[in-house]
Every structure is written in C-alpha cells, then in structure tokens.
Chain A
Amino acid sequence: MDAYLISVMTFIGIWIIMAMSLNLLVGYAGQVSIGHAAFFGIGGYTVAVATVKMGLPFPIDLVLAAVVSGILGGFLGLPALRVRHDFLVLATIGINFIVVAVFQYTPALGGAYGIVGIPPIAIAGVELLGLGMLLLVAAIAVALFVLKALLLKTWFGVRLIAIREDEDAAAAIGINVASTKIWAFVLACGGAGIAGALYARQLGSVFPENFGFVESVTVLTMVVLGGAGTLIGPVIGAIILGGLPEYLRFLHEWRYVIYGLLLTVLVIFERDGLMGPESRLRALLTRLLRRAAAEP
C-alpha cells in the first residue's frame, strides 16, 4: 500500500484519538478547552523522556504517557471548578502556553532543542513502521471509541451530560459536580496523552512548537465540525480536517484559503456539526444503513 497514504492515515488516526478525547470534555462535560494540545504534548514528551532518556519499552511508555497526562489534566480540572464558560476557555489557552513554555525553557526536557531520536515502537523485537504502526494506531482508536461509548452509558456518562446541560441544576439534584468535572479532565487529558505518545513515536521527535495554540484550535475545530456531543462526530471531524490539507494539495498555494472557506461554509450549513443529531449527513447515513439492514 502507498506509504504516503499510510502516513496520512496514521496521523488521521492520531487526530481521531485526540478529537475523541476532547469531545469527552467539550461535547459531554460541556467544558470548552482550547488548550488540549498541551496534554498531547505532555504525552509526547513523556514518551520522549521514557524512551530516549530512560530506555523504557512499549507499552510502558504509552501507559506512562496516559497516566502523566491524565493526572496533570486532573490538576487543570481544579481551576475549572472556579472558572466557567469563556473565562475557562481563556484559562485553558493559558495552560497551553504555560506548558509549551515549560517544554521550551526546561533544559531537562531538551529546551528549545526538543527531544529527538525517539525510536519506533517495537513489539517482540519487531519494529512497527508504516502499515504496522497504522494498524496499532487504528486498534487503539477503535478500543478507545468502544471504551468511550461504554463509559457514556454508565452513571458517569449521565452525570457528565447533566453538568453540560445545567451545572447548577445538576448540583441541586445531588451530583458531585467537582468530582465529575475533574474525572472528565483526567480521562480527556489522558486520552490526549495517548494520542501524543503515538505522535511522538510516529515523528521520532518532539519540539515545543508541535503542541501550541494552533494545534489546540485545530482539534477543537475537528470536534465541533464533526459534531460535539456525538460519538461519531469527532471521528468524522478528524478525518475531514486532518486529511483536508493533504486532499487539497492539488490547489497548491490556495490550499488554506479553500480550507478556511470550506470550514466556514460547512459549519454554517450544519450548525450542530456534520454528524449532529439533526444533520443531513447523519440522516443520509442512517437511511443507507437502514436500507442495507433491510435487504435480505
């Protein structure tokens, strides 16, 4: 299979994991964050340090990345208890900048030099490159998708949605808003950490500039465009926006003009996202699936 296609799809798989994790926070818990790339970065740097400086093998580095990002994400949840809505949005952006500054100014993390020489994942001595890495990323993405779907069916999922709809009402009926919020941050940031871990392995290096405001905006865009608060929304958003720069290469230097226009138009047309509850795409796919199921 075409190595370029595999590379593109591997990155899309990583964005899917990122978007799904952010969706937990934005779409289900209702906490808008434009700083998610910070945890993407924390996951990536954890893997970088674990592999390059400590020589740890897969999957220990991946687990570490998820745990470290998750715990630090929990700490981000603390200001979220105090600060809401657009104030929180800015706080999340601030956390992103501060985390990147820490990456950039901490010599132990490579400072401005980043960390290079991250080896590809090796399972039982076999290096995962190209197709192998793509399959691993896809497997993890599917597993996380299923886990998320199951999680949302639990009482935790119900609590999340209650908080999203009306935080004060949720508290009034006895939901522990603080604990639920913090857990939402832990899980979402842990998910971003997993995406970051895979990203670091795929690129072989991490630099502070990989994890900034622009990346956070991009992943939020994927979630909202796809349909925040739906299971399949972030997946669609990641496939479209993650792949669009590559699909549009034939437009050469007009790529991003069209990208911007397309984004604007798509989101005006489908205000709840492309896979939002009332969207045309969802209706179309449902019809097609029903017809396929109805055929004997």
Chain B
Amino acid sequence: MSITIERRTLLRGLGVAALCAVTFASPARADDTIKIGFFSPQTGFAASDGIAALHGATLAVQFANEDGGVMGKKLELVSYDDASAPDQAANVAQKLTQSDLVVAAVSGSYSFLTRPAAAIFQRAKVPMVAAYAVHPQITATGNYIFRTGVPSAVEGAAAAWTAGKLMKAKNVALVTMDNDAGAALADGFKKVAKDFGVNVVTEEKYSLKDKDLRPILTRIKGMNVDAIYANGFYAQAALLVNQLQELGIKTPVIGMEGFDSPKFFELSKPGAAEGVRITTALDRGSSNPLVQKFLAEYKSQFGQPADMVGASSFDAVAVLAEAIKRAGSTDADAIVKALHGIKDMSNVTTGPFVGFTEGGDVIKPVVVQEVKNGAWVSYAVIDDPAVMNLH
C-alpha cells in the first residue's frame, strides 16, 4: 500500500516537473534568425484585435524574409498571448527579453497591457514599438519605446480639422468611449476645436459594455448639432450607425481608426454606414504597391479583408526591420538611433512615415476615408503641420 502511494507520488512529481520543464524551459538560442517579440490578446474578449495584429505582424515578417531578410538572416516572430491580462503582459515581456532574447518587440495590445510591458522593455533596454495603443504616456516610458500608431493628439485634431475646415460643421457632439483611447482622442479633438472653428456642444461617454447608445443619441437629437465625432471599435461603430438610423437621426458622423474594419460594414444595417467619414492611416485606394500587396495577401492568407489594426501591426514590425537594416546591427542603441534617423519611409501600409518625434511617436499624415456605396473611398489627406506636428 505504502509503496504504491510512493510510486504514484513520484510519478506525479515527475509529471509536474516535466510539465514545468516544457513550459518554462528557455528555447535554444538560434543565432541564424533575428527574433522579433510580439504580444497581443489572442484569446478573450479582445481576441479580434489581437489576432488581427498577429496576422499583420506575421505578414510583415513574411514580406521581409521574402525580400532577403535583414542583415542576411531571416526574421522570426516570437508571439505570445496576453489574454488581456496585465500580469500576463508583464510575464511575457520578461520572457521575451530574458529567455527568448529578442532583438526588439512589438505590442499588438491595448494601452493598459502595453504600458506595464513597456516598463520592462525599457529596463531591459530592448526596443519596443506600440502598434496601436493610444495612451499618451506610453512612449514617455523611455527612449527605447516607440509608437507607429497615429498619436491620439494628432488623430483627434485631424477629426476636428475634418469637422471644422472640411465639413464646415460648427457645432459638434462628441460620443466617446470611456476608456483611455476614447478619452485621448476626445481630448485631442477638444484641444484644437476652437482653432478650427468648431464648438463642442456636448461630450457623451459610453462604456464598451453598453450596447445601447440610444439614450445618448436621443439626447443629441434634441441639440443643435452639425456633426457627431464618435470613437469606438468596429462593434460600437456598427451599433452607433444602426441606432442612428433607427432613431431617424441624419447628422453626419466622423469616426476614427477603430471603425476601419470590414466588420463595420458587415454589422451595419444596409445604408446605415453610408456617408460616415473616419480618420485613419490606411488608404485602401493608395497607389503604393505595398498597400495593395498587403491587402491582397492578408485577404488570401487569413480569409478576410485587412483592418487598421492589422495594418498598424504590420508597420510596427516593418519599421523595426528597416531600422535594424539601417543600423546594420542588432544592438539596441543602434536600432534606436536608426529609428530616429528614419526621415521618409514609404514602404509601410499606413505611411508615409515622415519621422519620429523625440519621444518616439511617429509623425505621419492622417487619411480621411468616407463610406460610399458600402466601401471606403478617399476623402482627404491631412498633412498640415498644424495637425501632424502635434503630440
């Protein structure tokens, strides 16, 4: 009896040890690839963005390798799922910097996950690029932290520009999601609204959990409003236009890059999305061959059209690859220097990248797209310094 228990215990102990070995063992260091770390929410409620970001990053690595790799070696993407949990983001940041020994990394996650990870990358002196996290203070974490997504100050200002200068809308109502992305974009809008001739009549916040925007829209219906500036992700965008249609509200809508997804069209009722304009950085009609190649390849490999998250993630990896190439080395400081040295990079999907600010935020024009006959068409490109150089 006692022997049986001991053997069982021993076996259990071995099993646990084996499990730990499998889970925690550092992979053997392969010196013939250049490892780029990546993390995003690939399971959980944010999985749609996390997986899109992963797709974009994967494609960027693929394109770079097809192009001959970097410094004669192939790029390798080391990807982890953070399941939208900040502690997991911190854990994988440690893993990437200390075990996988990546040369640089990309965050395909939201701000509350990116910020803890950024602190770890900064301390470990490993360059990290945030693909789309919008919190103004992410790049402030340190000199190794960059961002290729449009800074919120710029995107919000671009929306104000669109409203005031392009659409001649005097009174605008803001419909803002109550997370940091919403707040940052709304703040960017409000800061310059007066300069562009726009008066913010009201700001209505809503929670991402809330599928019913009707109370807010009903309030706005009763106000004298020339345009609505709304932010949200594709699901909220669809809810917004559907409920506007249901309530018979015809006020024009200006959205943001979160709307820039094929799912926005899929979930909108017929005609509801028509006329919506958004600030984004992906110009689907662009004459840049890379953009078209990206869109075609994304669709064929992943079965659905690319969205802004995928494009942003692609660019984050692409810009790192470019920086490593220019630096001619995988040394972190050399990469940082090379990133700052980028003055006009056009082989990105959401570019061109005019450069990086001292803090590490990208400088690039904002594209405004409009929905016409159920598809995105170019409406404007905003590269006025009054907007683009804000940060």
Contacts and interface: CB of A to CB of B under 8 A. Distances in A.
Interface of A: 2-8, 11, 104-105, 111-114, 116-117, 129, 202-205, 207, 209-210, 245-247, 249-250, 252-253, 255-256, 284, 287-288
6 contacts: A3-B94, A3-B95, A4-B99, A209-B179, A245-B85, A256-B44
Given A3-B97, A207-B111, A253-B42, 12 more contacts: A5-B24, A113-B180, A114-B180, A116-B141, A203-B86, A203-B87, A204-B115, A205-B112, A246-B23, A247-B19, A249-B23, A249-B80
Contacts of B81: 249, 252-253, 255
Nearest to A129: B123
Nearest to B24: A5
A2 B119 CA distance: 18
A116 B86 CA distance: 13
A104 B26 contact: no
B178 interface: yes
A111 B186 CA distance: 13
Interface of chain A: mostly helix, strand, loop or mixed: helix
A245 B98 CA distance: 20
Contacts of A203: 86-87, 90, 116, 119
Contacts of B9: 284, 288
Contact of A247 (B23, B123, B205): B23
B183 interface: yes
A105 to B, nearest CB: 7
B116 A7 contact: no
A209 B5 CA distance: 46
A287 B86 CA distance: 39
A105 B112 contact: no
A141 B180 CA distance: 33
A204 B99 contact: no
B22 interface: yes
A255 B83 contact: yes
Contacts of A255: 43, 81, 83
A214 to B, nearest CB: 9
A210 B180 contact: no
Contacts of A104: 178-179
B251 to A, nearest CB: 25
A5 to B, nearest CB: 6
Interface string B116-127: 100100010000
Nearest to A249: B23
Contacts of B97: 3
Nearest to B88: A245
Contact of B112 (A7, A209, A284): A209
Given A7-B94, A105-B178, A253-B42, A210 B112 contact: yes
Contacts of A252: 81
